Amino acid sequence: MKDNHLRTRQCRVPTIMAHPRDAALPRPYQPEIHCRYRWKMKKIAVSLLAAVLGFSPAAVAQQREELGDICTGELGAKIEAIANRPEFSRSRWGISIQSLSSGAIIYSRDAQKYFIPASNVKLLTTAAALLKLGANFRIRTVVYGGENNNLYVVGRGDPSLGGTQLKSLVQQLQQRGISQVNELIGDDSYFQGNAINPNWEWEDAQAGYGAPINSLMFDRNAIELILAPQSIGQPLKVTFAEPSLTNQWQIQNNSVTVRQNEREFVEVGREFDRPLIRVSGQLRVGAESEPVYVAVVNPASNFLQRFQQILAAAGIKVDRSSIASNSRNFTQELAAVESPPMAELIKETNRESDNVYAEVLLRLLGKATGKTPAPQSDSSDIGLQELKTVLTQLGVNPNSYILADGSGLSRHNSVSPEALVQTLRLMANSSVAAVYRASLPVGGESGTLKNRFNTTSNRVILQAKTGTLSGVSALSGYVESPNYEPLAFSIVVNQSDQQSAKLRGEIDEIVLLLNRLRHC
């Protein structure tokens, strides 16, 4: 049965059969026989043409390539031809390509060596979080009642929480008849340790994608700015998406509006000791506005401030607010909201490559151990230990990776392509395989792969995680070749002086080779 399945996948059935493995075929129609017959006829045609015209074996191979297929034995040379191009003479390539079902190695290049994987780390983090916590796990944010009309809002790191959720909490409080609050106390003690990974680079910690991780989060702990071009030579117009923040921050604007034929780029950063945001870069005149994000300075205070504003707008007066650093035992639950289920959280993490979500998942892994942490322990460090425990139980070699964070933003991460492919293969055979795979960007359709693999003449069925840092580019995931068995692959480039777009193009070229594979 297994051999028949593989033979069926090696042939191309009529276009009405988009997925032959899922389709119910009429009994007289046998695609594997039809396909072998067609492939045999094509080989005979090529052989006859070679005999009549006197083609050499090399010419026959060229003719076969023009017909669109690549034999397994030819793949290695074609990949090497790409990786060994002169512009990559100082770069490192790590590649692992394996059969998804059998684990047979199709191609390998330094697959057991360590590489900086960038956001491919998220494949490990989301796998561990999904296995440990389950697809239906949700993060609860709760408001408890206390003495003297005090309210305690207890956060557990929900990265999806925003204005809509806070309004829901307020509505629930109104329904309970609450109109006056003596003190609003934010319990920010669920996660312990550093809010910002000490291994991250300075500029990353200023940006919205490197925002601090704490228990009380609002809008991913980031401030959204809208940059819009004006007349040529004028600075970009800077607008806060949340108007109430306008008077709380000073803007240092070094940006400019440029002509239509000039390149575009924008950068934002902030001071750590004062409310100042720096904006630089350029947009073309007439171009669309560009959203950018900077990390908040004091996330728990930012949460309470936003919550207090929404309470006031609803007519609930708050006399004062404060942050609590020690957790308490609460009994009177007054209001609560929940995050989307874990299945949706990991989809946001992988499809959009959201670092904040990934770092929250890592800390949730640390909390899921059920052990009482030591007073000076770090939830992130405990999460890294639990991640390794969970993946080792899955069957991933614990010596094949060393992690410093959950998102891949740190350059201290060391992961082998072997570890990534092993995780992909084992997750494909786990009880949460469908949820895990559905979290990945789809080539040419969604997430960080929406604008890749969408200009090729042949449809590539690809679900994979991207990864980008300066000098680093990675892509790891699953590819469904039309005439070959399903593959799990990891391609990582390190120490490159090429632009990210160039690296992505070469990686995509290798994936397109996989899409043309055939057993010969």
Phi then psi for residue 407, to 5 deg, are -105, -25
**Which segment of 20-29, 109-118, 153-162, 275-284 scores lowest on mean pLDDT?**
20-29
Nearest 10 degrees: Cα torsion 491, 492, 497, 498: 30
The pLDDT value given to residue 176: 96
The CA angle 380-464-200, to the nearest 5 degrees, is 30
| pLDDT digits 0-9 by tens, 97-138 | 999 999 999 999 999 999 999 999 999 999 999 999 999 999
Q: State whether residue 14 is helix, strand or coil.
A: coil
> Band of the pLDDT at 380, cuts 50, 70, 90?
very high
Q: Which residues are CB-contacts of 45 (< 8 A; sequence separation ≥ 6)?
A: none
- In 3D space, the residue among 466, 220, 476 whose CA is nearest the CA of residue 360 turns out to be 220
Distance CA(336)–CA(328), nearest Å, equals: 17
> Band of the pLDDT at 326, cuts 50, 70, 90?
confident
Pair type for strands 276-284 and 250-258? parallel
Residue 6 carries which side chain, given as an amino acid letter?
Answer: L
Could you tell me which residues are beta bridge partners of residue 492?
A: 94, 474
> Band of the pLDDT at 357, cuts 50, 70, 90?
very high
The CA angle 432-433-436, to the nearest 5 degrees, is 85
The pLDDT value given to residue 51: 42
Pick among 3.40.50.1240, 3.40.920.10, 3.40.50.300, 3.40.710.10: CATH of 70-135+342-518: 3.40.710.10
User: For residue 208, is pLDDT > 50?
Assistant: yes
The pLDDT value given to residue 26: 31
Q: State whether residue 361 is helix, strand or coil.
A: helix
Domain residues of the chain, as ranges?
2-66, 70-135+342-518, 140-338
Are 382 and 369 in contact, with CB atoms under 8 Å apart?
Answer: yes
- In 3D space, the residue among 305, 306, 309, 315 whose CA is nearest the CA of residue 174 turns out to be 315
Q: Which two tokens stand for residue 361?
A: 């998942």
> Band of the pLDDT at 327, cuts 50, 70, 90?
low
Distance CA(268)–CA(141), nearest Å, equals: 31
| pLDDT digits 0-9 by tens, 246-274 | 988 999 999 999 999 999 999 998 887 78
- Give the 3-state secondary structure of 190-227: CCCCCCCCCCCCHHHHHEHHHCCCCCCCCHHHEEEEEE
Q: Which residues are CB-contacts of 433 (< 8 A; sequence separation ≥ 6)?
A: 427
Are 304 and 215 in contact, with CB atoms under 8 Å apart?
Answer: no
| pLDDT digits 0-9 by tens, 50-87 | 443 344 455 445 444 444 789 999 999 999 999 999 99
| pLDDT digits 0-9 by tens, 426-471 | 999 999 999 999 999 999 999 999 999 987 667 899 999 999 999 9
- In 3D space, the residue among 462, 473, 479 whose CA is nearest the CA of residue 501 turns out to be 473
User: For residue 494, is pLDDT > 90?
Assistant: yes
| pLDDT digits 0-9 by tens, 1-46 | 333 333 233 333 222 223 332 333 332 323 322 333 333 333 433 3
Pair type for strands 222-228 and 180-187? unpaired
